[in-house]
Structure 1
Amino acid sequence: MAAPTFALNHMVAPQMPLGAFFKLGKTLGIHQFEIRNDLSGNAILDGTSPYQVRELAAAEGAEIISINALQRFNEWTPAREEEARSLATYAAACGAKALVLVPVNDGSGKLEGERQGNLRVALKGLKPILEQAGIIGLVEPLGFQICSLRSKKEAVDAIDATNGVDRFRLVHDTFHHELAGEPELFPAMTGLVHISGVDDAQVSVDDMRDPHRVMVTDLDRLGNVVQIRAMLAQGYVGPFSFEPFSPSVHATSDVVGLVKGSMDFVRNTL
């Protein structure tokens, strides 16, 4: 079985300026990165141009695998289309390979029939925008019960139905996979895997939220290693990107040690 290729999502160290973040990865032997458009005081929100981002990445030999994310992508409105165009243009200009697509997650748009229809409309609208920018759309189902797209199978069916196989891939997120309780993996349709662990022994699976998400350790309750092993065994060859949202991770003074410890644990346990 192939060894996993690790990547870093900027959520590992959201307060770190982009150039320092790329340097951090290089220190760890990581060369693939996800940048975000939701970090105030940091690129992209602070007005950093895509060309500056491209230069910062080039200086450290960094590959930008995605911009994370177009939110509420499956609620396709003129405003959403405009936002998608702007993000896709930015992604292409900064050298990012893909744009992560996050569904509506507030309890709306969930009804049977409605959610499948909304998803197809959005994929049809997104496809020409992504084609023009020359990037991939990474559809990320979320496991939360209030989410309008929980099922990877539903996402794959919609991608097939809209002839989107050349333009869309899935994000397999180990946290959301566990919460959704959907057994199927779709390695051939997966373009990116997000990894994070939950160590808190008290919280029930249904009550798990982003702040519970830490690095992957031997206390992990999400079965990260089992999921990673299965994805590799079934032929997934893409990156495994660390995406912890816990304030405890963001507050650490030793992010290198934290990431290295997690990489070592995963490699040794596989």
Structure 2
Amino acid sequence: MTAQLKFALNHMTAPRLDCRAFLDLAASLNCVGVELRNDLADKNLTTAPFFDGEAPAMIGAYAREKGLRLLGLSEAYGFNAWSESMRDKVQLLINQAAEAGAESISLIPRNDAPVYAGDEREEALRRALRNIIPMLDKAKLIALIEPLGFVTSSLRHKADAVASIKAVGGEAHFKLVHDTFHHHIAGDRDFFPEFTGIVHVSGVIDPDLAPEDMQDRHRILVDDRDRLDNLGQIRALLDAGYEGAFSYEAFSADVHALTAPAMPLRQSMEFIAAT
């Protein structure tokens, strides 16, 4: 890659590490920042609460001591099925982000999409965005919307997210997560560098999987066997002017089981940077 890549780590890549050890790992790899997650315990990947039970401000301060940006907090899942309980979930994440000094929160669409009639899908998304705008505005935060490429997703394509952001006048409040895995399995061809707030990278190597059969559990570190064209996607984003972080988000149990993840991560980063 001709450009200097800014790598980051999503806590999903090393969920067995507590927050401080995870931040130490990111700093040792010269990452620009990290993303922390509130769903690791829900996924049975840890028994620790969010922020390991520490005050968010303490973890945020530790990140800055290590020279790291707290790029974002994940996640408010199912945000496009708006309700008062969803409002509370989003507000809590905003409050935690503000206390920690995080730059964004992540909004994840529901992945069990009902059968929508007419424009119901778009209206559900836009209703949620309209309600979230004043919450973000008050906190001076942005939210990252991550389309999920699964066939069961209620928001598969980045173009649909961009159209709804524009429809509600949310350009100053919302950006996209470009996830190389979801971009591939959704069959997306469009890149929106001006709307992209962060890029998630992971690889899939199983030669027998059709895109529609790829699942989170198949997502490993990127190497020369990758089927998702991470290198091509990264080049396209850089060539189009994207200057943000590329954050490793590997869901595979094989990656989670690594007792010393620094070297495999470094090798993957070096592979991407050198190609």
Alignment-derived partner of residue 221 in structure 1:
227
Relative to structure 2, which stretch is displaced further, 56-65 or 231-240?
Answer: 56-65
Does the Cα contact within 8 Å between 1:18 and 1:56 map onto a contact in 2? no
Q: Percent identity at matched positions? A: 42
Does the Cα contact within 8 Å between 1:17 and 1:43 map onto a contact in 2? no
Amino acid at match of 1:30: C
Does the Cα contact within 8 Å between 1:214 and 1:249 map onto a contact in 2? yes
Does the Cα contact within 8 Å between 1:109 and 1:148 map onto a contact in 2? no
Does the Cα contact within 8 Å between 1:8 and 1:30 map onto a contact in 2? yes
Pick closer, same or farther for the CA change 1:164–1:250 going to 2, 3 Å.
Answer: same
Pick closer, same or farther for the CA change 1:99–1:109 going to 2, 3 Å.
Answer: farther
In 1, Cα distance between the equivalents of 2:156 and 2:187? 9
Classify the secondary structure of the residue corresponding to 1:172.
Answer: strand
* 1:151-193 superposed Cα distances (whole Å, 9 cap, x missing partner): 1111001000101000100100000000111211001110110
Does the alignment pair 1:151 with 2:151? Answer: no
Alignment-derived partner of residue 108 in structure 1:
114
Relative to structure 2, which stretch is displaced further, 1-10 or 11-20?
Answer: 1-10
* 1:68-106 superposed Cα distances (whole Å, 9 cap, x missing partner): 111001011000001111110110110110001100101
In 1, Cα distance between the equivalents of 2:132 and 2:105? 11
Alignment-derived partner of residue 262 in structure 2:
256
User: How much does 1:60 deviate?
Assistant: 1.5
User: How much does 1:61 deviate?
Assistant: 2.0
- 1:21-100 alignment, distance < 5 Å: 21-40=22-41, 41-44=47-50, 46-100=52-106
* 1:116-148 superposed Cα distances (whole Å, 9 cap, x missing partner): 000100000111111111111101000000100
Aligned length: 269
Amino acid at match of 1:59: E
Classify the secondary structure of the residue corresponding to 1:154.
Answer: helix
Does the Cα contact within 8 Å between 2:32 and 2:245 map onto a contact in 1? no
Pick closer, same or farther for the CA change 1:142–1:32 going to 2, 3 Å.
Answer: same
Relative to structure 2, which stretch is displaced further, 18-27 or 48-57?
Answer: 48-57
In 2, Cα distance between the equivalents of 1:25 and 1:109? 41
Classify the secondary structure of the residue corresponding to 2:53.
Answer: coil
Alignment-derived partner of residue 126 in structure 1:
132
Gaps of 5+ in 2: 42-46
In 2, Cα distance between the equivalents of 1:45 and 1:55? 12
Pick closer, same or farther for the CA change 1:45–1:6 going to 2, 3 Å.
Answer: closer
Pick closer, same or farther for the CA change 1:108–1:47 going to 2, 3 Å.
Answer: farther
User: How much does 1:228 deviate?
Assistant: 0.2
Does the Cα contact within 8 Å between 1:38 and 1:45 map onto a contact in 2? no
Classify the secondary structure of the residue corresponding to 1:198.
Answer: coil
Alignment-derived partner of residue 206 in structure 1:
212
User: How much does 1:206 deviate?
Assistant: 0.7
Alignment-derived partner of residue 44 in structure 2:
none
Gaps of 5+ in 1: none
Does the Cα contact within 8 Å between 2:6 and 2:32 map onto a contact in 1? no
Classify the secondary structure of the residue corresponding to 2:64.
Answer: helix
Pick closer, same or farther for the CA change 1:153–1:44 going to 2, 3 Å.
Answer: same
Relative to structure 2, which stretch is displaced further, 149-158 or 41-50?
Answer: 41-50
Does the alignment pair 1:13 with 2:19? Answer: no
Does the Cα contact within 8 Å between 2:19 and 2:51 map onto a contact in 1? no
Q: Give the TM-score normalised by the residue count of structure 2.
A: 0.95
Pick closer, same or farther for the CA change 1:126–1:79 going to 2, 3 Å.
Answer: same
User: How much does 1:62 deviate?
Assistant: 1.8
User: How much does 1:43 deviate?
Assistant: 4.8
Runs of at least 4 residues of structure 1 off by over 4 A? 109-112
In 1, Cα distance between the equivalents of 2:69 and 2:193? 22
Does the Cα contact within 8 Å between 2:51 and 2:59 map onto a contact in 1? no
Classify the secondary structure of the residue corresponding to 1:214.
Answer: coil
Amino acid at match of 1:226: G
